[in-house]
Structure 1
């Protein structure tokens, strides 16, 4: 496990130029980038959508203005869940009808079959014995109330007996939202709606007391789309007489046999989100406009500084992470085996420490990260980071994933106002320090 780093900055004990570099990081610029990417015209930045492509174009423009060589390679993405209408759910019992709110009281289940039009049917339960309870007529043309523990069995019975659909249970976040996701298990042959625990309990109690009529729709389909990564190579950061091979093929950081003796580092962050609901904005400010803003600012500072030492820097803004990390899966196999990768997913709310996950041959890179954290005063802890870093690590690369919080994760509450300036500063300064330490021998900063 990583040692907890100190929280007091110690840059005055290192190179003055590193201290100046860190101080050049701008929270104002980063927060402006977060607000831009979370804006209405990007519509939640779902992979393959016009909003997602517009975000890629904006990022490419920013990187080009920094003097980078920019490419936007595309790739196919399969199985993206698209909620193309707002679903409905209501039920009636004892002469009263209650309609509940999407994303507050119920949400799309990713295993659901497409149900574009509302279907009205009686509700039944699946008891332990396997027969349907609540109507005495089995499951045909009935909504089935399933517990989490018997969800799979309920779906199988619903499919074989021709049920109208399945209602299962799913929790909410601390603020009462049910987050949106767009990648999941294979679709079932029956519609599935997930309801929050309180609604599930109310339905069960109403069914115990008498007949319950449910009306529900789930307009959810699977689509194929086209992802678009944004790669930016900064050749002027590399010194020592090498120009490397980062322009080969897929604009990766270097290429096999290019003769470049310098270090190759990729700073990555996914820019895509889960996309807006048909009637509600999901700004995706924390996940991951915040991480993108920090990487962009780190690149801006490093590009202007041109640190001494051989360092080949590539920025990779990745698409399709929310749909299954497709962008990094496309990118990772193109990279030389000695490439170092640092992926930032979430830089919005640093609590006690940043979560760090190392994969592949990352021991030396982890040591540099720890040194950079001590110099910048960013506390670290070992923690799971299920993001693009895992795709790079699976390709045999030294890869580290860093996370610094995502308030409002994948809900309408994930707004730019919740992205903390101090956390953006911590993230960008940490990335700048890591890159600098890789370019300059550690002995010169101790």
Structure 2
């Protein structure tokens, strides 16, 4: 197992600096560290590690005073599983280069399963494709792939960049499987291959699997039942470990889970009159299946606040509102002003969209994901100040919404 960089635990709170917020922060950091631990193997949907994470989170919510329900559901035909480490060796005019998986190349999600390496020359689309790997300049094209497969091509090579840390982020859901193996090659290597051609030996051991996902729902006792209904959500699943590489998934979305649980703790402690539920969702990385499964079950007068990433707040928190969310957005705006958290309208393609599509007032909030879906997404990169900012913002938003609802009922 390769050791990831930045592999330390999240930094504990400094009581001298944080005083009253130290217990809350330490609880959140403990959740981040535990969810990112090796025992949960990256928390991919349907894996033993994913199921163990759900059971552990249910225990945490019960300890916080909630009534907890586990809701299993199937996910069919949308999860890609890497069942071995891909290999790519490139021979140019002088030597053979062993490229590094997720640094120099990675599997493309449209690839067909290629468990064992195959060897062939590099060609271009205009050349004879028989027994060759075709180097594409304009990205993956299904029509071209079908034609190349018909004429005996071995596979396709497309270009891809890396993040700031030099990683190619991992994904597990995407386009339908095509007729040929497909590998994404770092832009620099792609340029070299285009200039000197040469030969490729490569494998792409990626298959599509079905899975049994599990959502975790928590209902908290509140003072009075005539108040508004509030649902806090965050997905707990990750993309899962590679066969030889850890993916801790600390920012996306252990950080969001930790902040949502702490927000619920603080809201219940205030004894505000409203109904509070929490949904920790599975299969977001596989296409937001957990929220799609849950949304039809939610009462239509519920407001939904989804937190996806609470690890590195820089200039502003990203906010996307949809559905009948005008009152909720106004509450969020006031909360941002009160807590000093700047807000910026921005696309948030997460579970909030499934709730909005079901006709619910929904807002998605994101506060950064350093190391997003790479081995560098470790707990020490989750900023304590951002966890606290997320909890303050969510707590204040709910309080403003409840207060606005009470005013409208007078």
> TM-score, normalised on structure 1?
0.84
Gaps of 5+ in 2: 1-19
Find the counterpart in structure 2 of residue 252 from structure 1: none
Task: Spell out, residue by residue over 1:290-342, the C-alpha distance to the aligned partner (whole angstroms, 9 max, x if none).
Answer: 000100111122222322x3x10000000000000000000001111111000
Find the counterpart in structure 2 of residue 80 from structure 1: 79
Task: Spell out, residue by residue over 1:119-146, the C-alpha distance to the aligned partner (whole angstroms, 9 max, x if none).
Answer: 11111111xxxx31xxxxx212211111
Partner Cα separation in structure 1 for residue 251 and residue 21 of structure 2? 23
Task: Spell out, residue by residue over 1:11-51, the C-alpha distance to the aligned partner (whole angstroms, 9 max, x if none).
Answer: xxxxxxxxxxx958722211111111000001100001111
Find the counterpart in structure 2 of residue 266 from structure 1: 231
Does residue 187 (structure 1) correspond to residue 187 (structure 2)? The answer is no
Partner Cα separation in structure 1 for residue 366 and residue 348 of structure 2? 7
Partner Cα separation in structure 1 for residue 302 and residue 383 of structure 2? 31
**Could you say what secondary structure the match of 1:90 adopts?**
strand
Superposed displacement of residue 95, structure 1: 4.2
Partner Cα separation in structure 2 for residue 155 and residue 408 of structure 1? 32
Find the counterpart in structure 2 of residue 313 from structure 1: 276
Of 356, 360, 363, 2:323 maps to 360
Does residue 40 (structure 1) correspond to residue 38 (structure 2)? The answer is yes
Partner Cα separation in structure 2 for residue 93 and residue 65 of structure 1? 60
Task: Spell out, residue by residue over 1:344-383, the C-alpha distance to the aligned partner (whole angstroms, 9 max, x if none).
Answer: 0000000111000000000000001111111111111111
Find the counterpart in structure 2 of residue 29 from structure 1: 27
What does residue range 85-100 of structure 1 map to in structure 2 within 5 Å? 85-100=84-99
Superposed displacement of residue 149, structure 1: 5.0
Of 293, 303, 310, 2:258 maps to 293
Does residue 428 (structure 1) correspond to residue 405 (structure 2)? The answer is no
Superposed displacement of residue 171, structure 1: 1.5
Partner Cα separation in structure 2 for residue 335 and residue 355 of structure 1? 25
Partner Cα separation in structure 2 for residue 61 and residue 434 of structure 1? 26
**Could you say what secondary structure the match of 1:148 adopts?**
coil
Contact 2:227 2:405 in 1 (8 A): no
Partner Cα separation in structure 2 for residue 399 and residue 375 of structure 1? 21
Task: Spell out, residue by residue over 1:410-434, the C-alpha distance to the aligned partner (whole angstroms, 9 max, x if none).
Answer: 0011010100000000001111112
Q: Which stretch has the larger CA shift, 151-160 or 273-282?
A: 151-160
**Could you say what secondary structure the match of 1:223 adopts?**
strand
Partner Cα separation in structure 1 for residue 247 and residue 354 of structure 2? 26
Q: Which stretch has the larger CA shift, 92-101 or 298-307?
A: 298-307
Partner Cα separation in structure 1 for residue 265 and residue 196 of structure 2? 59
Aligned residues: 387
Task: Spell out, residue by residue over 1:230-252, the C-alpha distance to the aligned partner (whole angstroms, 9 max, x if none).
Answer: 000002x2x23x3xxxxxxxxxx
Task: Spell out, residue by residue over 1:149-207, the C-alpha distance to the aligned partner (whole angstroms, 9 max, x if none).
Answer: 57445413322212111111112111211000000010001000001100100111111
Superposed displacement of residue 262, structure 1: 2.3
Find the counterpart in structure 1 of residue 206 from structure 2: 220
Partner Cα separation in structure 2 for residue 351 and residue 408 of structure 1? 15
Find the counterpart in structure 2 of residue 249 from structure 1: none
**Could you say what secondary structure the match of 1:110 adopts?**
coil
Find the counterpart in structure 2 of residue 304 from structure 1: 269
Q: Which has the larger radius of gyration?
A: 1
Find the counterpart in structure 1 of residue 3 from structure 2: none
**Could you say what secondary structure the match of 2:119 adopts?**
strand
> TM-score, normalised on structure 2?
0.91
Task: Spell out, residue by residue over 1:240-284, the C-alpha distance to the aligned partner (whole angstroms, 9 max, x if none).
Answer: 3x3xxxxxxxxxxxxxxxxxx421110000000000111010100
Cα distance, 1:150–1:182 mapped onto 2, change above 3 Å: closer
Find the counterpart in structure 1 of residue 309 from structure 2: 346
Contact 1:25 1:429 in 2 (8 A): no
Partner Cα separation in structure 2 for residue 83 and residue 63 of structure 1? 32
Partner Cα separation in structure 2 for residue 162 and residue 335 of structure 1? 51
Partner Cα separation in structure 1 for residue 69 and residue 363 of structure 2? 24
Structure 1 runs, 4 residues or longer, greater than 4 Å off: 22-25, 441-444
Find the counterpart in structure 2 of residue 19 from structure 1: none
Partner Cα separation in structure 1 for residue 186 and residue 275 of structure 2? 49
Contact 2:140 2:158 in 1 (8 A): no
Find the counterpart in structure 2 of residue 201 from structure 1: 191
Find the counterpart in structure 2 of residue 123 from structure 1: 122
Find the counterpart in structure 2 of residue 233 from structure 1: 219
Gaps of 5+ in 1: 1-21, 133-137, 243-260
Cα distance, 1:230–1:150 mapped onto 2, change above 3 Å: closer
Partner Cα separation in structure 1 for residue 241 and residue 228 of structure 2? 40
